[in-house]
Every structure is written in structure tokens, then in C-alpha cells.
Amino acid sequence: MATPELLLTDRVGRLRARVAQEGLDGLIVGAPASVFWLTGYTGSNGLCLVTPTEQVFLTDARYAGHVARIGDGWDVRITDVDLIGGDGADQ
């Protein structure tokens, strides 16, 4: 039986291959259920950018503690702005 880490790695690998197959530069994943499916991330503010050659995970500083639990191989970047749902008026 595959471990959760191997499942996440396999999912990302298959998505990266599909992005390449479709000739896309990249794919942004922002729906919380889809972010969780790819990374295991349980916070409510995160985005994934998946390209044929890299995978980047973005969240804001409020959720920095949650990123320790995401799958291996992600380039994690912590931003200083709300990535989802905010209009920036309170920034």
C-alpha cells in the first residue's frame, strides 16, 4: 500500500505530465479541496502553481505553520498578502 507521501508525489507527477502533454505553461490550483488533494495542506489560504518542471506553493504568513505538512518537492513561498478572497483594502 502506498504511503500518503507517495500518493501526493504521484498526483503531482501526473499533473505535471498532463500540463506538459497539453502544452500549457502552467496550471494554478486554488480550490481548497484540490490544494489539499495535491499537497496535504489543510489551511484555507493557499495556491499551487504546477508547471512541467516545477511546483510552487504559496500562502500568507498566517499559515506558515501549516506548510511543514505539505508534500515533498514543493517550492514553498510565504507572501505578505491574502491570496484568496481579499481585495487588499485592509492591507
Query: pLDDT tens digits, residue range 6-53?
Result: 888 899 999 999 999 999 999 999 999 999 999 988 888 899 999 999
Q: Which pLDDT value is given to residue 63?
A: 86
Q: Which pLDDT value is given to residue 77?
A: 93
Which residues have CB under 8 Å from 81's CB, separation 6+? 60, 88, 91
Alpha carbon 63 to chain centroid, angstroms: 13
Q: Which pLDDT value is given to residue 3?
A: 65
Q: What share of the chain is helix, strand, coil (3-state, %, to 5)?
A: 40, 20, 40
Q: Which pLDDT value is given to residue 8?
A: 85
Residue 71 is classified by DSSP as: P
Cα–Cα distance for residue pair 19/87, rounded to 1 Å: 29
> Model pTM?
0.82
Query: Parallel, antiparallel, or unpaired: how do β-strands 55-60 and 75-79 relate?
Result: parallel
